[in-house]
Structure 1
Amino acid sequence: MTASTIASQIIACVASSQYGGSTITLTHLAPFVRDSYNIYLNKYLKRGLDDNTAQKFAKEDTQKEIEDSIQTLNYQINSLMT
């Protein structure tokens, strides 16, 4: 979530100093998604869940975090005043 907020701030800075459109790729956020997944996975493994169940719950939590982050990113980009 923090990474997408920082990305929107970078987008705002770039957009304010150029004319025309801007494009981005979200692949730069992939390492942060991996970190979030590992945090969730470790959380469930520490609670004593088996590997398959922990991976399932970690994927669900990561998916929810991605959805929330992209929704926030879209809101922040759409509300830019450039």
Structure 2
Amino acid sequence: MALMITDECINCDVCEPECPNEAISQGDEIYEINPDLCTECVGHYDEPQCRNVCPVDCIPNDPDRVESQEALMAKYEHLMAAKA
């Protein structure tokens, strides 16, 4: 499943550069994750890098975007093919 950033976000700017898919961007009030680009770092890392660096633990799974590991890998492969 894709990840999301909750309103506990303090806009510390550390998550955005960690995302290998460029899925994180500054929103109107807090950072946001584009679920179409988020693979939970599948294909890049063993665990989501944004969660590793978040000082306030405000990046849970998005309950509206449930995806299996296979679906996340397929999304990763599609994103990498689009970059090529």
TM-score by length of 2: 0.28
Report the structure number with the largest CA radius of gyration: 1
Q: Which has the higher contact order (CA 8 A, sep 6+)?
A: 1
Name the one with the larger helix percent: 1
